[in-house]
Amino acid sequence: MTPVAFRHRLAERGIDAQLLLLGPAAVFVAALFVYPFCYGIAVSLQPVEGGPFAAYQAFFRDAYQRDTIATTLRIALPAALLNVLASVPIAYRMRGRFRGKRVLTTVLVVPITLGTVLTAEGLLNFLGPTGWFNRVLLALGVVDAPVTLTHNYWGVFLSLVITGFPFAFLLVSSYLSGIDPSLEKAGAVLGAGWAQRFFRITLPLLAPGLATTFCLTFVLAFSVFPSAILVGDPSGTTRVISIAAYEAAYVRYDYAGGAAAAIIMGLVELVVIGVVLGLRSLLYTGSTAGGKG
């Protein structure tokens, strides 16, 4: 086959010189993401002593390491669920136009940009034993002694809600704005109450978007690291898996253990996302616009 004919056959399958534009990006991602990941897997399979899977065995044999998976999920799953579930009714109420909507969404973006480090610092001041929050509760007579909300599970949980809720809200409201309101109006004309309209029209159309939102919020919550150290209890109830991986690699200089923990972390997260996206594929995904079908 002549080179020209070969090029034509490739071009028929959509492969030609223009695809080279993908090159630089593909090289960067391959060199900085795919290669390090494979390198990490290789490192984790070559521990200083023991067989190829010794680092993984050590991780699962040691309860102090193994329990970090459960700890991480215990923080990340409820936080992601709460963020998504709370933003549905709020976004549903705030559909449509009203005065001050742009200001409201702008203010909501602020906590996202603050990031977890600053949120942790603020939570330590605000929720601490002499912080404003406890002062208000004491002054109102709700509690007798200051509530401990920092350096434990709740500090980390609240920091995830503060950064994660606006994120979930903005995503959910952008999905909601894509659903044609005339579908609901049609339901109303046919005599459906608000509950029927919500549960039988809007929610099914929104559900795929909710699954995506949950995944993205969960990724944020799952990789919690700075706030688990600063506002949590990093050697006890909030010893999340990222802390275990970091300690193994940079405190104990056990590179195989650190790489193994990092890879276990990635796998656990992909499993959760895979389950959610698998459930999502059972749902209706298609046009959310009205009109003649």
Partner 1 sequence: MTRVRRRIVATPAAWAVWGTVTLFFVGVAGVIGSVLVNSFATRWFDTWLPQGYTTEWYGQAWEEFTLLPVLGVTLVVCLLVAGVSVLVGVPAAYVLARRSFYGRRAVYLMFLLPILMPPIAYGIPLATVLYKYGFAGHLSGVVLANLVPSIPFVILTMTPFIEQIDPAVERAARMCGARTRQVFVRILAPLLVPGILAASILVVVRTVGMFELTFLTAGPDSQTLVVALFYSMSASGIRAQQSVDAMAVIYTAMMLVLLVVALRFVNPTQLVARVKEDPE
Tell which positions 44-83 bind partner 1, by CB under 8 A.
Answer: none
CA distance 244 to 250: 10
For the record, the structure tokens of 203 come out as 């929610």
**Contact residue for partner 1 among 48, 85, 109, 271 (CB under 8 A):** 109
**What residue has token string 């390090």?**
36
Which listed residue (1, 63, 113, 189) binds partner 1 by CB under 8 A?
Answer: 113
Distance CA 256, CA 262 (A): 10
User: In the bound complex, what is the minimum distance in angstroms from residue 187's beta carbon to partner 1?
Assistant: 18
Residue 121 touches partner 1, criterion: CB under 8 A:
yes
Residue from 46, 106, 196, 235 touching partner 1 (CB under 8 A): that is 106
Residue 198 C-beta: closest distance to partner 1, Å? 11
Q: Per DSSP, which regions of the chain are E strands?
A: none
Q: Report whether 79 contacts 153 (CB < 8 A).
A: no
Instruction: Print the SS3 string covering 55-74.
Output: HHHHHHHCHHHHHHHHHHHH
Least distance (Å) from partner 1 to the CB of residue 130? 5
C-alpha gyration radius of the chain: 25
* Subset of residues 224 to 283 that bind partner 1, contact rule: CB under 8 A: 225-226, 229-230, 242, 245-246, 249, 255, 258-259, 261-263, 265-266, 269-270, 273
Helix (H, G, I), strand (E, B) or coil at 288: coil
Which one of 105, 186, 207, 283 is in contact with partner 1 (CB under 8 A)? 105
Which 175-204 positions form the footprint of partner 1 (CB under 8 A)? Answer: none
